[in-house]
C-alpha cells in the first residue's frame, strides 16, 4: 500500500509470478483527528480487533503450511530465515524480503491471480486475497493502520457500517486490480484500509455542517490521500487495489455514515414546526442517492468486464500510469 508497498516477484521457494503486497503506514496520522465526540455513549469496538486477530491467525496458518525447511532442498535449507521457528521459519530474504511465505504457498491458499479468477472460475480469490499477507512486516504495517483507523470509526458508527465498508472496499480493490494487473499475484488488506480512509473523507463532507475546523481537517485528509496514492505509482505496487478500495469506501461513506441534522434525536422536546423537519439535510439525500447509483453501476460493470476476461488497459490506455510511472531508474514492464 502506499507508504511502504512492496511487490516480491518470481524467485525460488515460491516459483511462478510475483506477490504484490499492499501495505501502508503514512495514513496512520489521519486516524480520526477531526471526528467529533458525541455526547451519547460510543459503540464498543470489537469487530476491528476481531479482524486483526483473524489476519494474524491466517498468517500463522499460512506459515505453518509453507514450512520452509521442508520444501527447500537440503543444500538450501540453511537459507530459511529464523530456522529456530521450525516450520514457521521465513523464506530466504532474496525471495521474500518481507519475512513471509513463498509465492507458491500464497497462490495455493488464495492469492489474487487473474488467470485463476477468470478462466478457472475461482472468484473466491477476490475475497481470500484480502486476508493473506506477504510477510510479517506487511502484516504488522496493515494491522497497525487498521487499529488506528478502524477502531475509532467503529466506536463512532458501529460494527455493521464499518464492517460493510471494510469488506466491500477490500473486494472492490481486488476487482479493480484484476482488471488491470494480469501478470502477478496480489495479497493484502490495503484495499479495505483505503476504503476506511475514503469513508473518513466522505463522512467529513456529508456531515460538513457539524464540524469545527473542517477546512483544516479536509485539507489534512486530502494531503494524506494524495501522498498515499502518489507513493502507489512506484514500481511493484498494486495501486489499483488502493484506488478501487478508496473509491468504494468514499461512496459508501455517503451512503452509510451521514449523521442526522442537529437536534433530530431530541425532536420530541422541540416545537412541532422544528420536529417536522426531515432527519437529514437535502444535500445528504442527494449524495446518498448519487453514491448508491454509482456503487451499483460500478460493481455491475466491473464484474461483467472481469468475468468476460476483458483487460481494463484496453479501455483506458493511460490507466497503467496510475500504478507505475517509468523513469530512468526503473521500468514498469513487470507491472
Q: Of 172, 16, 184, 189, nearest to 114 (Cα)? A: 184
Beta strands in the chain, from DSSP E residues, in sequence order: 6-8, 19-21, 185-187
Q: Is 172 a catalytic residue?
A: no
**Cell triple for 106:** 500464497
The closest alpha carbon to 129, from 10, 251, 294, 244, belongs to 244
Radius of gyration of the chain from Cα atoms? 21
Which residue is catalytic, options 30, 169, 174, 190? 190
Alpha carbon distance 242, 138 (integer Å):
15
Task: Write the DSSP string, 196-226.
Answer: HHHHHHHHHHHTGGG-SSHHHHHHHHHHHHH
Residue 40 per-residue DSSP state: S
Marked catalytic residue, from 169, 242, 291, 323? 242
DSSP E strands: which ranges in 120-206?
185-187
**Nearest of 330, 13, 305 to residue 179 by alpha carbon:** 305
At how many degrees (to 10) do helices 190-206 and 239-256 cross? 40
Does residue 186 sit in helix, strand or coil?
strand
Give the side-chain half-sphere CA count within 13 A for 196: 29
Q: Supply angle C-alpha 196, 27, 192, rounded to 5.
A: 30
Is 133 a known active-site residue? no
Q: Enumerate residues 6+ apart whose C-beta is below 8 A from 7.
A: 18, 19, 20, 21, 184, 235, 236, 237, 238
Instruction: Kindly list the catalytic residues.
Output: 190, 242
Amino acid at each position: 500500500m502506499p507508504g511502504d508497498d512492496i511487490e516480491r516477484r518470481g524467485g525460488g521457494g515460491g516459483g511462478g509470478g510475483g506477490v504484490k503486497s499492499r501495505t501502508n503506514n503514512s495514513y496512520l496520522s489521519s486516524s480520526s483527528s477531526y471526528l467529533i465526540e458525541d455526547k451519547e455513549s460510543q459503540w464498543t469496538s470489537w469487530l476491528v480487533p476481531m479482524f486483526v486477530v483473524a489476519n494474524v491467525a491466517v498468517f500463522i496458518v499460512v506459515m505453518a503450511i509453507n514450512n520452509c525447511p521442508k520444501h527447500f532442498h537440503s543444500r538450501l535449507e540453511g537459507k530459511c530465515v529464523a530456522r529456530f521457528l521450525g516450520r514457521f521459519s521465513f523464506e530466504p530474504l532474496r525471495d521474500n524480503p518481507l519475512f513471509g511465505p513463498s509465492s507458491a504457498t500464497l497462490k495455493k491458499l488464495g492469492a489474487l491471480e487473474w488467470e485463476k479468477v477468470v478462466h478457472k472460475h475461482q472468484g473466491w480469490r477476490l475475497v481470500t486475497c484480502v486476508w493473506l499477507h506477504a510477510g510479517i512486516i506487511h502484516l504488522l504495517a496493515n494491522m497497525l493502520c487498521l487499529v488506528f483507523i478502524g477502531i475509532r470509526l467503529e466506536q463512532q458508527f458501529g460494527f455493521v457500517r464499518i464492517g460493510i465498508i471494510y469488506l466491500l472496499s477490500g473486494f472492490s480493490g481486488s476487482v479493480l486490480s484484476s482488471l488491470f494487473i494480469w501478470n502477478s499475484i496480489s495479497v493484502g488488506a490495503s484495499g479495505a484500509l483505503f476504503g476506511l480512509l475514503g469513508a473518513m473523507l466522505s463522512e467529513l463532507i456529508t456531515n460538513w455542517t457539524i464540524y469545527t475546523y473542517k477546512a483544516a481537517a479536509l485539507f489534512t485528509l486530502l494531503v494524506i490521500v494524495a501522498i498515499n496514492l502518489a507513493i502507489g505509482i512506484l514500481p511493484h505496487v498494486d495501486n489499483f487495489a488502493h484506488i478501487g478500495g478508496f473509491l468504494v469506501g468514499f461512496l459508501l461513506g455517503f451512503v452509510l455514515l451521514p449523521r442526522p441534522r442537529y437536534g433530530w434525536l431530541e425532536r420530541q422536546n422541540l416545537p412541532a414546526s422544528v420536529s417536522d423537519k426531515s432527519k437529514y439535510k437535502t444535500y445528504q439525500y442527494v449524495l446518498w442517492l448519487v453514491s448508491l447509483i454509482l456503487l451499483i453501476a460500478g460493481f455491475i460493470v466491473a464484474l461483467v468486464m472481469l468475468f468476460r476476461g476483458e483487460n481494463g488497459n484496453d479501455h483506458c490506455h493511460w490507466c497503467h500510469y496510475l500504478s507505475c510511472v517509468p523513469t530512468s531508474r526503473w521500468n514498469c514492464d513487470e507491472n
